[in-house]
Amino acid sequence: MKMSTLANAATVLLMLGPTMASAAPNAALAPFPQPEPGQVRHVIQLPARAEEPRFQVEIQVGKTLTIDCNHYAFGGELVERHVPGWGYDYFVYGKEHPLVSTEKACPPDSERSAFVQAVDANRMLRYNSRMPIVIYTPADIEVRYMLWRADADPMPAERL
């Protein structure tokens, strides 16, 4: 492999670093159960950061669907479970509820591909680079995440 190809690959990884979860080592996943038939195990291994208490992770569960100009969502719950004897937590996305939407008339050619979130399945978790975030879902469900950072200095509330 040429050095420029390696440099380009490294550049792409650096650019995607904050938005992609790195694969957790298999040893870190050993305590967690294997996915049941028809399920997929999603793993988010966060990189170590200075001041981790200032960060939170928003978990988003959903599907990429072809939709029109209406607003879409579906129900489903992200249930927290515990690994017996380890004290580790993981999440299981339960039964998916039907897709719902507004019903306004859309202009022609308004179809597009978009990520549609499960309404009751989003979670805010504390940032912890020492433990993977493990989520089990049906095979057709996607898991995404966003990082949130608090300001360094809290702002005072006004006394009235």
- Domain membership flag for residue 33: no
pTM recorded for the entire structure: 0.77
- Structure-block tokens of residue 134: 């493990």
Q: What residue numbers bound the domain in which 132 lies?
A: 39-149
The pLDDT score that the predictor gives to residue 25 is: 53
Is 70 exceeded by the pLDDT of residue 15?
A: no
Cα 147 from chain centroid (whole Å) = 10
Query: Is 11 within the bounds of a domain?
Result: no
Asked, for residue 8, whether it belongs to a domain, the answer is: no
Residue range 38-82, pLDDT digits in tens: 999 999 999 999 999 999 999 999 999 999 999 999 888 899 999
CATH number at residue 74: 2.60.40.550
**Each residue of 97-144: pLDDT tens digit?**
888 999 999 998 899 999 999 988 889 999 999 999 999 999 999 999
User: Which amino acid appears at position 102 of this protein?
Assistant: T
Within a domain: 112: yes
CB under 8 A, 24+ apart: contacts of 28-34 = 28/131, 28/132, 29/132, 29/134, 31/83, 31/86, 31/88, 32/83, 32/88, 32/90, 32/134, 33/83, 33/90, 33/136
**What secondary structure letter does DSSP report for 4?**
H
Strand partners, 88: 83
Q: Per the structure, how many domains does the chain have? A: 1
Would you say residue 104 lies in a domain? yes
- Indicate whether 28 belongs to any domain: no
User: Per the domain annotation, does 4 fall within a domain?
Assistant: no
Task: Supply the pLDDT for residue 4.
Answer: 37
Domain annotation covers residue 142: yes
Structure tokens at 148: 């949130």
